Chain A
Amino acid sequence: GAGVSQSPSNKVTEKGKDVELRCDPISGHTALYWYRQSLGQGLEFLIYFQGNSAPDKSGLPSDRFSAERTGGSVSTLTIQRTQQEDSAVYLCASSFRQGRGDTIYFGEGSWLTVV
Chain B
Amino acid sequence: DAKTTQPPSMDCAEGRAANLPCNHSTISGNEYVYWYRQIHSQGPQYIIHGLKNNETNEMASLIITEDRKSSTLILPHATLRDTAVYYCIVRDAGGTSYGKLTFGQGTILTVHP
**A→B interface (CB under 8 Å):** 4, 31, 33, 35, 37, 39, 42-43, 45, 48, 50, 55-56, 89, 91, 93, 95, 98-109, 111
Are B49 and A105 touching (Cβ within 8 A)? no
Which A residues are in CB contact (< 8 Å) with B42? 108-109
Interface of A, secondary structure class, is strand
Give the complex CA separation of A48 and B31 in angstroms. Answer: 19
Are B41 and A100 touching (Cβ within 8 A)? no
Most chain A C-beta atoms within 10 Å of own C-beta, residue among B42, B98, B104 = B98
Are B44 and A101 touching (Cβ within 8 A)? no
Are A42 and B43 touching (Cβ within 8 A)? no
Most chain B C-beta atoms within 10 Å of own C-beta, residue among A4, A43, A102 = A43
Which A residues are in CB contact (< 8 Å) with B102? 45
Which A residues are in CB contact (< 8 Å) with B98? 31, 48, 50, 55-56, 98
Which A residues are in CB contact (< 8 Å) with B49? 101, 103
Known A99-B94, A100-B93, A101-B51; contact A48-B43, beta-carbon cutoff 8 A: no
Are B46 and A100 touching (Cβ within 8 A)? no
Q: Output the nearest chain A residue to B91 by Cβ-Cβ distance.
A: A100
Contact with A along B30-43 (1 / 0, CB 8 A): 11101010000111
Q: For residue A77, give the distance in angstroms from its CB to the closest CB of chain B.
A: 15
Q: For residue B4, give the distance in angstroms from its CB to the closest CB of chain A.
A: 12
Which B residues are in CB contact (< 8 Å) with A50? 98
Give the complex CA separation of A103 and B49 in angstroms. Answer: 8
Are A100 and B32 touching (Cβ within 8 A)? yes
Name the contact of B46 in the complex, choosing from A43, A55, A104 (C-beta under 8 A). Answer: A104
Are A107 and B43 touching (Cβ within 8 A)? yes
Give the complex CA separation of A110 and B30 in angstroms. Answer: 33
